[in-house]
Amino acid sequence: MKKILTTALIAISVFTGVKAQQDAAYSMYMFNGLFLNPAYAGSQEVISVMAIYRHQWAGLEGAPKTVNASVHSPFRRDQYAIGLTLTNDRLGLSNTFSVTPAFAYRLRLKGDNRLCFGVQASFAYFYQNNAKAQLPDFNTPDNAFAINANLFVPNIGFGIYAYGKRYFIGVSVPHLLPSKLRDKTGVSGYNTSIARMYNHYLFTAGYVFGKEASIVKFRPSILMKWQKGLPHNIPQFDINLALLFIERVWVGVGYRTAGDGQLSRNYVGQSANVFVNFKATPQLQVGYCYDAEITALRKYTTGTHEIMIGYDFWYNKKRFVTPRFVKYF
């Protein structure tokens, strides 16, 4: 009963104004950046499909379960690219489904380097099934759980992404509008107590070290998130270190921080992870990541599991006469 009530309160917080990170967090973000940055569209230079399933805080009833699927590709004239991301996020009593189309304008720089500019439009539908809430038997009913809640929330975002064979760097704002998450759809100011979608400012970067013929290569990467509107807010960091073996197998570890933004400006650790990504064929890759919680929540969960599968369609064989087993990012 305690777990059910706790997760029910977590879910209803989306509509009652609790200030928390609202976008799903993925530990294997470096393999599919489209959900972070619309300018990532077309960066695989072929039609690329990627799907990620994340079960966060396994063992905790009502914990988040997220499915994210994306597809993106450059046009035949590769100056332009398009992409589409579908996300279904379940948390306690609530369910969020979003559709996010993206468009990127790509400039070719010296060699294989590119500088890309992207825009996206997101359409999210929030639904909360309060009828499934199991509440204590109080004499006075709780009106907050009397009716179900649903809301349609559109938004826009943009990003800049530069990349080459061995590096990437990007900045993005997936949500430009602080849309209200209560009553009717609209834009809310940050000085109000109305629940809303906060702006997320993201920075990503990574680099691959090692000679071309090396059996082992080293790739550090970082994701920094800053969420506008929280008191005493500080950025959150995802820091990852990975080794690439024989151009086919990535093995890595990661560490995620979470600033105690409500109480102080101190950084605290949130989770540590280990992941593996295997290039089964030149076109097919699969991956798995395990996150171990290092906060007080570790007493109630057995960890977080993330599964990834991706496939690249080579629609232009002339451009890929000698395809590589590996795409570094």
Structurally, how many domains does the chain consist of? 1
Instruction: Tell me whether residue 227 is in a domain.
Output: yes
Q: To the nearest 5 percent, what fractions of the chain are helix, strand and coil? A: 10, 50, 40
- Residue 4's pLDDT is what? 43
Give the range of the structural domain holding residue 228, as residue numbers without chain letter.
Answer: 2-314
Instruction: Tell me whether residue 259 is in a domain.
Output: yes
Secondary structure (DSSP) of 162-204: EE-SSEEEEEEES--S-BB-SSS--B--TTS-S-B---EEEEE
Which amino acid is present at 183? D
- Which residue numbers in the chain have pLDDT < 50? 1-21, 185-191, 193, 261-264, 320-325
- Residue 231's pLDDT is what? 60
Instruction: Tell me whether residue 328 is in a domain.
Output: no
- Residue 128's pLDDT is what? 77
Instruction: Tell me whether residue 79 is in a domain.
Output: yes
Instruction: Tell me whether residue 321 is in a domain.
Output: no
Strands (E), 228-321: 236-245, 249-259, 267-279, 284-293, 303-313
What CATH number is associated with residue 248? 2.40.160.40
Instruction: Tell me whether residue 118 is in a domain.
Output: yes
- Residue 114's pLDDT is what? 95
pLDDT tens-digit series, residues 66-107: 999 999 999 988 899 999 999 999 887 788 899 999 999 999
Instruction: Tell me whether residue 179 is in a domain.
Output: yes
Instruction: Tell me whether residue 329 is in a domain.
Output: no
